Structure 1
Amino acid sequence: MVGVSDVSTFDRFARVYDLVMPGADATQLGRALERSERPVDRLLDLGGGTGRAARALDANQRIVLDAARGMLVRARDHGLATIQGDASRLPVAPASVDAVTIVDALHHVHGWDSLFEEVFRVLRPGGVLAISDFDPTTLLGRLLVTGEHLIGFESQFVSPQVLCDHLERVGFETIVVDDGFGYTVAGVVPKRENKSRSTQRE
């Protein structure tokens, strides 16, 4: 679940969020979604806020799930379908989506293993989870961690490799699509249980 203080802050920030935040990196997210072993027709953007990631990507059905009602109002203004809910208990049917994105939001979520188990449940075989976040082991990452905590966010950051370890424990096959301060990791739901679960690096 998302820290309570984080949700209230995003609710207050919703009106100006799109004015001060850059758009999602469609190139890196697109490279992550290319790892999907099925067409990406239905996409779920978790912690999607105003829908920055969903708007940057091409899918017939794009759904934004967020805990902050104010952010979802803005996402609907952009023509996106929305769900207000807890990412650790997704109100989505099993094997019902082709791709899930979590962009600049994972560090606001607590209880990652529950979250990743839920994402694994709702993705169809061959579907992909694309996560973009920030590496706290870099210089900029350390500054970001300090800044977020000064603001009052309950943020928790991890490196790409630690994130891959979490995903692989749930059953995803992982790929580090891009590393550095801002990184992107893709996790694919295997189509066959006997496929190996090794981390790849481009």
Structure 2
Amino acid sequence: MYGLGDVDFFDRIAPLYDLAMPPADGEALAAGLDHATRPIERLLDVGGGSGRAAAALAGPDIAVVDASVEMLSRARRGRGLAGLAADAGRLPFRDASVDAVTVVDALHHLPDHDAALAEAARALAPGGALVIREFDPSHPLGRLLVAGEHAIGMNSRFRTPADLAAAMDGVGLDPRIVDRGFGYTVVGVRR
């Protein structure tokens, strides 16, 4: 597990996290998942922490994957979700073994974006979708978020929608920018 970056921060704030964070946008996630060209029966919520995004989804078998053990305990105990402590850059899943992967408000916390994207693409079955909800650092509110996270010592690295779409293309996914704004959604469908 990566053990660096923002994991220690999330381990410390786990008891308060769900009190401070609004629910995940289930409609935006569902709109992203609609781009999959295969039925979604098995979904990984990578960087899923307390299960906030997984709780906004209905239907598939969902496993929350996160490096923060304290956040995962919230997903398991608080929401009854399956959770696995793992590094997003080295997912313990077979090639082409899942139908969808979500990364919600978390990519910017991962220490190696390229490794995480490559691992998500590897784990996806053909026609499966990687749905990423993130914050645009070029948006006025995004600039404030970047400054705020850096001010409290986070190692966050944000990407614009176009940059993220290009990175998805580079790992064998067909990228689509689904929506834009402070919070945006980019989907990559496994070719």
Sort the TM-score into its range (normalised by shorter chain). over 0.9
Q: Shift of residue 60 of structure 1?
A: 3.2
Check 1:42–1:107 CA distance in 2 against 1; reply closer, same or farther (3 A cut). Answer: same
What is the 5 A alignment of 1:28-39?
28-39=28-39
Q: Residue 154 of structure 1 corresponds to which residue in structure 2? A: 155
Q: Residue 73 of structure 1 corresponds to which residue in structure 2? A: 73
Q: 2:95 aligned with 1:109, yes or no?
A: no
Aligned partner letter, 1:136: P
What is the 5 A alignment of 1:108-187?
108-187=109-188
Check 1:166–1:151 CA distance in 2 against 1; reply closer, same or farther (3 A cut). Answer: same
Matches of 1:30 and 1:178 in 2, distance apart? 12
Matches of 1:28 and 1:60 in 2, distance apart? 16
Residue ranges of structure 1 left out of the alignment (5+ in a row): 191-202
Matched pairs, number: 190
Residue ranges of structure 2 left out of the alignment (5+ in a row): none
Q: Residue 195 of structure 1 corresponds to which residue in structure 2? A: none
**Which deviates more from structure 2 when the two are superposed, residues 52-61 or residues 138-147?**
52-61
Q: Shift of residue 2 of structure 1?
A: 5.7
Q: Shift of residue 171 of structure 1?
A: 0.9
TM-score w.r.t. length of structure 2:
0.96
Q: Residue 196 of structure 1 corresponds to which residue in structure 2? A: none
Q: Shift of residue 185 of structure 1?
A: 0.6
Q: Residue 24 of structure 1 corresponds to which residue in structure 2? A: 24
Q: Residue 85 of structure 2 corresponds to which residue in structure 1? A: 84
TM-score w.r.t. length of structure 1:
0.91
What percentage of residue pairs aligned between the two structures are identical? Answer: 53
Matches of 1:6 and 1:114 in 2, distance apart? 17
